[in-house]
């Protein structure tokens, strides 16, 4: 089955100039290559995807809508957040302070601590990976805490390594 009989390479290249994003660009480049004689099997290998995916990309272009629109995915809103915008802002301000400021006896924020805090404070349940994502979205990074490393003598690599190993992982502001 031949695809894109009614579309010229020039039209595809014009559409390529007017799209944003990796996927639409990738789809148009595949269509241009197909119009220049590259097989769907070769395109699948080039793009590290299945032949069926290439077929779908080419079929998207067999439409009356503009090419730039045909290669772009429709907006996906996703699931609503469990925290309201104001709760999210309050949470982010809270995790930028030590847990003691929120009345929690802990040295640093952890995903498990965040999970408990969110359930107690806002009545929402988050998975452990989602708590890590929330910490990252709040601008915190996961870093090794090195308070013991400064005490180690830098001339002895084993002593330095042992001190480094005793450190703890913590979420800290960037």
* CA-closest candidate to residue 131, choices 103, 171, 86: 171
Range of the domain at 155: 85-173
Pair (25, 91) in one structural domain? no
d(CA 39, CA 43): 6
- The pTM score is 0.49
Strand locations in the chain (E): 140-145, 168-173
User: Quick count: other Cβ atoms within 10 Å of Cβ 49?
Assistant: 15
* pLDDT tens by residue, 100-153: 999 998 888 889 999 999 999 999 999 999 999 999 999 988 776 555 555 555
Pair (103, 151) in one structural domain? yes
* Domain finish residue from 41, 70, 99: 70
d(CA 158, CA 156): 6
* pLDDT tens by residue, 56-84: 999 988 888 888 888 888 877 788 889 99
DSSP state of 138: T
* Per-state percent for the chain, helix, strand, coil, to nearest 5: 55, 5, 40
Pair (90, 57) in one structural domain? no
């Amino acid at each position: 089955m031949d695809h894109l009989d009614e579309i010229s390479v020039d039209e595809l290249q014009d559409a390529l100039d007017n799209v944003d994003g990796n996927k639409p660009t990738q789809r148009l480049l595949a269509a241009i290559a197909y119009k220049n004689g590259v097989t769907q099997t070769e395109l699948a290998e080039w793009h590290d995807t299945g032949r069926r995916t290439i077929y779908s990309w080419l079929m998207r272009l067999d439409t009356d809508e503009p090419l730039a629109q045909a290669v772009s995915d429709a907006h996906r809103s996703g699931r609503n957040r469990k925290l309201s915008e104001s709760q999210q802002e309050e949470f982010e301000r809270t995790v930028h302070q030590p847990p003691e400021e929120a009345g929690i006896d802990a040295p640093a924020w952890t995903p498990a601590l965040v999970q408990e805090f969110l359930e107690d404070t806002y009545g929402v349940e988050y998975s452990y990976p989602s708590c890590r994502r929330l910490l990252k979205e709040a601008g915190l990074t996961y870093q090794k805490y090195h308070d013991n490393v400064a005490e180690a003598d830098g001339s002895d690599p084993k002593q330095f390594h042992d001190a480094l190993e005793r450190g703890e992982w913590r979420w800290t502001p960037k």
